[in-house]
Amino acid sequence: MKAAIVRETPDGYVDLVDNWEPKPLAFGEALVDMEYVGLCHTDLHVASGDFGNPNEIGQRNGNFRRVVGHEGVGRVSKLAEGASDYLKIGDRVSVAWFYDACGVCDFCVSGNETFCRKVRNSGYTVDGAMSQQVVVNAQYAVKVPDGLDPVEATSITCAGVTMYKSLKVGETKPGQWVSVHGAGGLGNLAVQYAHNVFGAHVAVIDGNDDKLAAAKANGAEVLINRKKVADVAEEVQKATGGAHTAQVTAVNAAAFNQAVNSLRPMGKLVAVALPQGDMALNIAKTVLDGIEVRGSLVGTRADLKEAFQFGAEGKVKPIVEKVNFNDMNEVIDEMKAGSITGRKVFDFTTL
């Protein structure tokens, strides 16, 4: 079967193969026939070996090539013993970055399971969604609700739940101002969740006018092209009085610095994107204005269930475009160039 796997020497691209076979099912696992899989910027990090070479993690059956992908949606086609307590044949489920965890540590039992020290991640520490069939832990595969377009559900599986959770982490309240730094796949969904679910006002910063136009269509009230202003933070301050929460989804360090300076006193910066390098903080502003800096890591199963439901209710509608599996490396180039508005989703139903 077809799959996209990390190259033997990771270089940021993938090899498309025709002879992939998923591992045999173990207790509590299910086999999923994939329908649609989105490409996330984290997949590019994995394919580049930025988190360590995924091919060297958990070698199995003498085949060390890792299948990428964690924005997957498909139908359950087979259940191992112990899986029927959670899923049934025909269920539409997600394959998310958060694959599973130990279930018993302090983080797992306190509702913070994504921080489990034994967490496994789809497309990195275990094979991911970008193949025609995928093995999942039935206890952790979140069902996609009826009424939610499965193509749109792929984006909510990662980008959507990531931004929904990060807005929670930022303690977003109705009527507050949220600044979103980066209007790509993550940022566009940040706008929708902030505006439509949390009832907040939204300012968006990006260097692409098409992405800013899409953000406006989805509820953003302040649009700032970072390439056309001298000082992004000053423009945010003038338009909003200072953001209560800044959500950084752009994959560059400059966005983090602009976000800090866009905040009002007691504002919260929530770091979501993962550029390489360090973030510089203005110590005086951080201390004297009581600024908080928080990291937010995807979302738990409960977060994803909630994020899906808002999509099913029509409060959130991801911008998606179905594309051909064979064009994956070209799509990677587009993502690297920052030219994609929303998400491109690979259609496995045509293979």
DSSP 200-249: -EEEEEES-HHHHHHHHHTT-SEEEETTS-S-HHHHHHHHHSSEEEEEE-
| Cα distance between the two ends of the chain | 9
Instruction: Provide the token pair at 85.
Output: 């307590």
Q: Provide the residue range defining the domain that includes 189.
A: 171-295
* Whether residue 180 sits in one domain with residue 272: yes
| Nearest Cα to Cα of residue 125 among 48, 59, 44 | 59
* Whether residue 144 sits in one domain with residue 7: yes
* Whether residue 184 sits in one domain with residue 57: no
Give me the average pLDDT of each 10-residue run along the chain (351 residues): 95 96 96 97 93 76 79 98 98 98 98 97 96 98 97 96 98 98 92 98 96 95 97 97 96 89 97 84 91 95 98 95 97 92 94 93
* Whether residue 129 sits in one domain with residue 15: yes
Three-state DSSP class for residue 69: coil
* Whether residue 14 sits in one domain with residue 149: yes
Q: Which residue has the tokens 């020290």?
A: 117
pLDDT at res. 59: 58
pLDDT at res. 200: 98
Question: What is the spatial distance between Cα 199 and Cα 215, in angstroms, rounded to a whole number?
Answer: 15
* 37 in a structural domain: yes
| Nearest Cα to Cα of residue 166 among 71, 294, 42 | 294
| Nearest Cα to Cα of residue 132 among 72, 60, 85 | 72
* Structural domains counted in the chain: 2
| Nearest Cα to Cα of residue 283 among 267, 261, 264, 262 | 261
Q: What is the DSSP letter of 327?
A: G
* Whether residue 83 sits in one domain with residue 196: no
Q: Which residues pair with 224 in a beta bridge?
A: 205
Instruction: Provide the token pair at 186.
Output: 């993550």
Question: What is the spatial distance between Cα 329 and Cα 333, in angstroms, rounded to a whole number?
Answer: 6
* Whether residue 336 sits in one domain with residue 259: no
* Whether residue 133 sits in one domain with residue 83: yes
Cα–Cα distances in Å, from 21 out to 30, 125, 156? 14, 17, 27
| Nearest Cα to Cα of residue 135 among 30, 20, 21 | 30
Question: What is the spatial distance between Cα 47 and Cα 26, in angstroms, rounded to a whole number?
Answer: 27
Instruction: Provide the token pair at 32.
Output: 């999923």
What b/e sequence results for 150-162 when a residue is b if at least 16 CB atoms lie within 10 Å of its CB, and e otherwise?
Answer: bbbbbbbbbbbbb
How many CA atoms within 13 Å lie on the side-chain side of 43? 33
Q: Which residues pair with 163 in a beta bridge?
A: none
Three-state DSSP class for residue 126: strand
* Whether residue 146 sits in one domain with residue 26: yes
Cα–Cα distances in Å, from 171 out to 166, 167, 192, 247? 9, 6, 16, 12
Strands (DSSP E) contained in 18-140 are: 29-38, 71-79, 92-95, 98-100, 120-121, 133-137
* 310 in a structural domain: no
* Whether residue 252 sits in one domain with residue 180: yes
Question: What is the spatial distance between Cα 100 and Cα 88, in angstroms, rounded to a whole number?
Answer: 19
Instruction: Provide the whole-model pTM.
Output: 0.93
Instruction: Provide the token pair at 263.
Output: 């905040």
* Whether residue 217 sits in one domain with residue 139: no
Q: What is the DSSP letter of 117?
A: T
* 179 in a structural domain: yes
CB 268 within 8 A of CB 292: yes
* Whether residue 80 sits in one domain with residue 40: yes
